[in-house]
Amino acid sequence: MSLVAKIDDDLKKAMLARAAERLSVLRMLKSAVKYAAIESGGASAVPSDADVIAVLRKEVKKRHDSVAGYESGGRPEQAAKEKAEIVILEEYLPASLSPEEIEAIVKGAIAEVGATGKAQMGAVMKAAQAKAAGRVEGRVLSQLVQKLLP
């Protein structure tokens, strides 16, 4: 079952269960996925699972930024709401890789590209992101690539 179909199915279940918070998050997610599909391929575009994962990561990152802002602004109730939304969104993300697996992917990408310095960081990042297939945040990957490149 594709992620889009799973989201649609869970949306229906949330409607039947009258789970307002979950329903709200899933509607927002469905809208964001549809908007991303329209941006990339037109109104009739069907998003792939990779596209959906990219949207999910973007939405989770937005929520993390909001939590930090609300906590520093003294609004713990809003921060708690955002944290609850993060939990719902993360249900649809694939399992993250362990640090050892990430390091192996980066080392493999460096060897594949034949990188000898930081000037080839872009090529290494492209290869590593393709191998990681959305299971690692770009920031984490970038930091490790910078650390491992001579």
pLDDT of residue 59: 94
Q: What is the pLDDT along the chain (150 residues), one digit of tens a residue?
A: 789 999 999 999 999 999 999 999 999 999 999 999 888 877 777 888 888 988 998 999 999 999 999 999 999 999 999 999 999 999 998 887 888 888 898 888 888 888 888 888 888 888 888 888 777 878 888 888 888 887
pLDDT of residue 10: 95
* Contact (Cβ atoms closer than 8 angstroms) between residue 145 and residue 125: yes
Q: Rounded distance, CA 88 to CA 128, Å?
A: 27
Cα angle, residue 31 at apex, residues 141 and 24 outer, rounded to 5°? 100
Q: Which two tokens stand for residue 56?
A: 């999910």
Q: Rounded distance, CA 22 to CA 26, Å?
A: 6
pLDDT of residue 111: 87
Q: What is the DSSP letter of 120?
A: G
pLDDT of residue 89: 94
* Contact (Cβ atoms closer than 8 angstroms) between residue 50 and residue 33: no
- In order of their start, the domains of the chain are 3-90 (1.10.1510.10), 99-148 (1.10.10.410)
